[in-house]
């Protein structure tokens, strides 16, 4: 069985030394009292919960899966899952970053993200239950009426109820404009919903007494396409005015999906048979309201793959140190043993360092985005809030697609380190590969994220938001451009920043003439942008490490950080050259293929 140790030292490094969150919090009135000690104490306790309570259930969930009673439509989760959720609630974890007005602790989002990384490393399938609930909370907090907030938010905050989002239908996934679920207005102001949803994560389970479904549907007078979608609250049990539970509602689980991974999460087919719902926000404006939840989910999905990358890395490194196999090409290194550990082999180190570099780079990016969200929600200066929101919007598809693609690369590489043992269930590595695979697909496939980044976030405003991130890169380059010790990090970063600016301009001109050029180049463009962003954070981390070493700090952590930064820039960052070549090859070689695809 794999092990997991929360990476508290690296989290503290990113939070306190790179992002300097305590100083950031002082500028946010809601978080001004949150200091370094508070942050560290919460991370330590969160790490204990992740490693001691839910990590031992990861294999159990994979082997048992969920069970549906077709007569009652009730779902039983794997052994220990329900009890773990009760401990999660008992510890106050659902309320961590929720609004104090509804029973929350009001702590920064960046802390919640650290906690969720650890939960995902320990058990992604289990973590999806509270993760979807937090998304539902955020959506209602932003768009619900005061009555809806008072009715639902306190119980989503304290963990008494959970939530979901119900979007996908059998005939439509990403293209939600095609959805058919109907909502008929009733004399009392409620609606009756009829239709079917599929792939609903945590759609039915035995954790709590009520599940609050957020459902997209069409009103009778709805215009065609995405402009005719409305959002509704459809609880499993109707809620009486005093907050008590009423009759069973007409929404139920008609089946569970049989999946490649995340077996411990109930991915449900949900049937709406005249279910009673209440409208959230304005008619036909549901997609905009749901985007609050969808964008939060996209960042959450990036955090899922970050968690799996970290735990896969930890186990691959431990195995490589212990596994004796052949000798080093430069001569025996462990002369008292019959063979050297496989860690002496350069390619084994490459695979492990790839996972380490992608985990630590992903952590820096994810926590930076979480800090931006804290600024967006709490900073007193409107311009700061607006700039933060624009940067989060730009970086969200990179978080979702680049980090999940990297998770696929990293978990597969770490499984490879185990050789034949990696293919065997008992070591747990193949589960990380299977569980991660969904992360590249749901909440908008990574191709959709790429189209969103290039088509909407970059070309859609002539690169204005991209230039804002470019200014961060330029500031770092200017600050360290004459520092010879930083040259190995700054020079390739500056070079790529210049190339990406010209490349994006070029793509814009080509897309103006041939719109399909965006589709042909988008995936490569996002990966290039991902490396630019990771390169920026790796350069910042190297900057901090170098300064600590120059100041006489002998903590080996900083030397390790520099070595990993050098590996990233030497072995992973150069992928950008081939990405630009393939993107520039044009769309003709993809579209002029009628005979090849006949």
Residues taking part in catalysis: 443
Q: Which H or E run contains 184?
A: strand 182-185
Of 298, 304, 299, 417, nearest in space to 354 by CA: 417
Bridge partners (DSSP) of residue 7 are: none
Question: What does the alpha-carbon distance between residue 205 and residue 260 come to, in Å, rounded to a whole number?
Answer: 20
CA dihedral 556, 557, 561, 566 (to 10 degrees): 10
Question: What does the alpha-carbon distance between residue 371 and residue 111 come to, in Å, rounded to a whole number?
Answer: 9
Burial bucket for residue 560 (CB in 10 Å: 0-12, 13-18, 19+):
middle
Residue by residue, DSSP assigns 187-253 as TTS-EEEEEEEEEEET-S-SSSSEEEEEEEEB-TTPPSGGGGBEEEEEESEEE-TTS-EEEEPSEEE
Question: What does the alpha-carbon distance between residue 343 and residue 569 come to, in Å, rounded to a whole number?
Answer: 21
Question: What does the alpha-carbon distance between residue 519 and residue 586 come to, in Å, rounded to a whole number?
Answer: 10
Of 218, 189, 202, 126, nearest in space to 163 by CA: 202
Burial bucket for residue 397 (CB in 10 Å: 0-12, 13-18, 19+):
buried
Largest CA distance in the chain: 84
DSSP, res 324: B
Residue by residue, DSSP assigns 478-508 as HHHTT-GGGHHHHHHHHHHHHHHHHHHHHHH
Beta carbons within 10 angstroms of residue 273's beta carbon: 14
Q: Which H or E run contains 414?
A: helix 382-417
DSSP, res 454: I
Cβ–Cβ < 8 Å for 365, 401: no
Bridge partners (DSSP) of residue 280 are: 231
Q: Which residues contact 558 (CB under 8 A, 6 or more apart)?
A: 544, 545, 546, 548, 549
Burial bucket for residue 135 (CB in 10 Å: 0-12, 13-18, 19+):
buried
Distance of CA 175 to the CA centre of its chain: 21
Whole-angstrom Cα Rg for the chain: 24
Distance of CA 597 to the CA centre of its chain: 35
Burial of 483-506, coded b for 16+ CB within 10 Å and e otherwise, reads eeebeebbebbbebbeebbebbee
């Amino acid at each position: 069985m794999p092990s997991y140790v929360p990476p508290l030292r690296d989290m503290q490094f990113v939070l306190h030394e790179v992002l300097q969150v305590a100083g950031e919090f002082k500028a946010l009135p809601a978080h001004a009292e949150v200091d370094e000690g508070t942050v560290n104490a919460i991370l330590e306790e969160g790490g204990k919960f992740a490693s001691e309570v839910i990590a031992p259930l990861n294999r159990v969930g994979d082997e048992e899966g969920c069970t549906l009673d077709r007569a009652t439509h009730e779902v039983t989760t794997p052994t220990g899952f329900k009890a773990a959720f009760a401990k999660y609630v008992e510890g106050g974890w659902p309320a961590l970053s929720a609004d104090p007005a509804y029973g929350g602790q009001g702590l920064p989002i960046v802390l919640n993200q650290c906690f969720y990384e650890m939960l995902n490393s320990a058990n992604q399938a289990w973590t999806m239950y509270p993760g979807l609930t937090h998304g539902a909370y955020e959506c209602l907090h932003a768009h619900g009426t005061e009555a809806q907030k008072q009715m639902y938010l306190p119980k989503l905050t304290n963990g008494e109820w959970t939530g979901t989002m119900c979007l996908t239908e059998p005939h439509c996934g990403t293209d939600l404009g095609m959805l058919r679920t109907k909502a008929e207005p009733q004399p009392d102001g409620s609606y009756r919903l009829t239709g079917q949803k599929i792939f609903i994560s945590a759609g039915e389970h035995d954790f709590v007494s009520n599940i609050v479904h957020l459902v997209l549907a069409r009103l009778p007078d709805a215009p065609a396409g995405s402009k005719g979608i409305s959002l509704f609250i459809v609880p499993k049990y109707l809620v009486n005015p005093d907050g008590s539970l009423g009759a069973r509602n007409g929404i139920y689980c008609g089946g569970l999906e049989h999946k490649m991974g995340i077996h411990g999460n109930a991915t449900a087919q949900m049937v709406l048979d005249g279910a009673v719902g209440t409208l959230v926000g304005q008619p036909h404006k549901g997609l905009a309201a749901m985007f609050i939840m969808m964008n939060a989910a996209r960042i959450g999905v990036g955090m899922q793959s970050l968690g799996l990358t970290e735990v896969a890395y930890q186990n691959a490194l431990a195995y490589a140190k212990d596994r004796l196999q052949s000798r080093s090409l430069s001569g025996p290194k462990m002369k008292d043993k019959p063979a050297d550990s496989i860690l002496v082999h350069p390619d084994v180190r490459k695979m492990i360092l790839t996972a380490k570099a992608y985990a630590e780079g992903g952590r820096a990016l994810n926590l930076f985005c979480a800090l931006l969200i804290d600024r967006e929600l709490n900073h007193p200066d409107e311009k700061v809030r607006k700039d933060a929101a624009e940067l989060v919007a730009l970086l969200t598809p990179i978080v979702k697609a680049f980090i999940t693609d990297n998770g696929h690369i990293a978990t597969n590489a770490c499984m490879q380190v185990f050789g034949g043992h990696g293919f065997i269930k008992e070591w747990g590595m193949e589960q990380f590969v299977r569980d991660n695979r969904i992360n590249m697909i749901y909440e908008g496939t990574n191709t959709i994220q790429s189209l969103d980044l290039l088509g909407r976030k970059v070309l859609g405003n002539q690169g204005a938001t991209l230039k804002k991130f470019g200014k961060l890169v330029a500031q770092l380059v200017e600050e360290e451009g004459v520092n010879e010790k930083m040259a190995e990090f700054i020079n390739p970063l500056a070079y790529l920043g210049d190339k990406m600016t010209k490349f994006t301009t070029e793509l814009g001109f080509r897309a103006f003439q041939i719109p399909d050029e965006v589709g042909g180049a988008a995936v490569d463009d996002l990966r290039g942008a991902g490396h630019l962003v990771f390169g920026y954070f790796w350069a910042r981390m190297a900057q901090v490490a170098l300064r600590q070493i120059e100041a006489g700090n002998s903590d080996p952590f900083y030397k390790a950080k520099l070595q990993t930064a050098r590996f990233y820039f030497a072995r992973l960052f150069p992928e950008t050259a081939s990405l630009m070549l393939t993107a520039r090859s044009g769309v003709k070689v993809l579209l002029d293929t009628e005979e090849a695809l006949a």
